[in-house]
């Protein structure tokens, strides 16, 4: 059986804190990427979906604004790419 949702959320919140600390230069003891910890945006997107209950549209607007409001012929395709990236970001193992 998998972890309860509250434990998964806490795990992701803690990894996100570690990522932010590492990016700011305050935490360099561990190689998070080598340990299989997802990148910062993936952690943020996962929390936005699972903890905060945002829709995929809200996540694209918040985390991938470059795909919002395009009026080109391929705008629908670009938003689909953003949604695919967001979905990939949220599907990591624990």
Residues 10-35: tens digit of each pLDDT: 999 999 999 999 888 887 677 888 88
pTM here? 0.71
Total domains present in the chain: 1
Q: Tell me whether residue 38 is in a domain.
A: yes
**What is the 8-class DSSP label of residue 47?**
H
In this prediction, residue 94 has a pLDDT band, given cuts at 50, 70 and 90, of: very low
Residues 56-66: tens digit of each pLDDT: 999 999 999 99
Domain limits at 40? 5-89
Residues 10, 15, 20, 21, CA torsion sign: positive
Q: Tell me whether residue 29 is in a domain.
A: yes
Is 34 buried (19+), middle (13-18) or exposed (0-12) by CB count in 10 A?
Answer: exposed
Q: Tell me whether residue 56 is in a domain.
A: yes
Per-residue pLDDT, 81 = 65
Q: Which two tokens stand for residue 38?
A: 């997802």
Region 65-69: mean pLDDT is 91
Of residues 6 and 84, more confidently modeled: 6
Q: Tell me whether residue 50 is in a domain.
A: yes
Q: How far apart are CA 69 and CA 83, in angstroms?
A: 14
Q: Tell me whether residue 94 is in a domain.
A: no
Q: Tell me whether residue 11 is in a domain.
A: yes
């Amino acid at each position: 059986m998998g972890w309860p949702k509250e434990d998964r959320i806490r795990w992701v919140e803690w990894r996100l804190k570690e990522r932010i600390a590492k990016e700011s230069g305050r935490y360099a003891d561990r190689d998070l990427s080598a340990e299989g910890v997802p990148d910062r945006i993936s952690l943020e997107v996962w929390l936005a979906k699972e903890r905060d209950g945002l829709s995929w549209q809200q996540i694209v607007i918040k985390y991938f604004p470059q795909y919002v409001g395009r009026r080109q012929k391929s705008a629908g395709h670009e938003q689909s790419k953003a949604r695919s990236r967001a979905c990939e970001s949220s599907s990591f193992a624990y």
